[in-house]
Amino acid sequence: MSVRHALLALLHEGPKYGLQLRQEFEAGTGEMWPLNVGQVYTTLNRLERDGLVEAADDDEGPQRTFRLTEAGGSELEEWLRTPPDMSAPPRDELVIKVLVALRLTDVDVAELLQAHRRQLVELMQQYTRLKGDVGEDDLGLALVVDAELFRLDGLIRWLDAVDGRLARLPRGPDGERAAPASRPRTTPERLRRQIGSRR
């Protein structure tokens, strides 16, 4: 999350002072991203140093007001159009846990997948209740909650896909599925190298 660019965006609407920026940032994200006021002033000082904002008055106190410079406007526009960095394979903790579980012979992987699925759905229930309780009036909150719900939903779909892949593994003579640990393995590190080599 770029606080720097969020502040530029808020100043694009007109000159504002630090506390005001913090309040508007939190309101705009449905108060899901609390922001330390110290962080706001530190960021404003850096933006001023870089020529992206400038003082709009002579006040040196907490009411000191800033406005966007022309360079700040260009920086904001460029940032909006630059795709976020999605290139590196995610080192998601859940993915690591499942990969580790597949190597351990005494772990019930199906049960483990279900435990994670339940915990993710329970978290989704809380976000959905939050969305349901505030209605459709708070657009900022709805968008932030939707983003989180889609992210969690994606993880659950991935768990479902793991289940499906494990179910399709060939069974040995004893009826047990072949242990995944005995198969050639792609580690996250190897995956990173493979994807990197295609770029």
Partner 1 sequence: MTALELRDVSKVYGTGAAEVHALAHIDLAVEPGTLVAVMGPSGSGKSSLLTIAGSLEEPSSGDVIVDGSRLADLSRNDRARLRRQRIGFVFQDFNLLSGLTAAENVSLPLELDGRSARRARPVALAALDRLGLADQGDRFPDELSGGERQRVAIARATVGDRQLLLADEPTGALDSANGEAVMRMLRQACQDGVAGVVVTHDAQLASWADRIVFLRDGHVVDQTAPQPGPDSLLSSDAGR
- Min dist CB 29 to partner 1, Å, is 9
Near partner 1 by CB under 8 A: residue from 32, 95, 99, 166: 32
SS3 label, residue 55: strand
Q: Tell whether residue 127 is a contact of partner 1 (CB under 8 A).
A: yes
Fill in the DSSP letter of residue 83: P
Q: Tell whether residue 153 is a contact of partner 1 (CB under 8 A).
A: yes
Near partner 1 by CB under 8 A: residue from 95, 140, 163, 166: 163
Listing from the earlier edge strand, what are the strands of the sheet with 16-17? Answer: 16-17, 65-68, 53-55
Q: Tell whether residue 60 is a contact of partner 1 (CB under 8 A).
A: no
Pairwise CA distance, residues 127 & 178, whole Å: 39
Pairwise CA distance, residues 154 & 142, whole Å: 18
Q: Tell whether residue 185 is a contact of partner 1 (CB under 8 A).
A: no
Tokens found for residue 92 = 């998601």
The residues binding partner 1 (CB under 8 A) are 31-34, 114-115, 117-118, 120-130, 132-133, 149-150, 152-153, 156-157, 160, 163
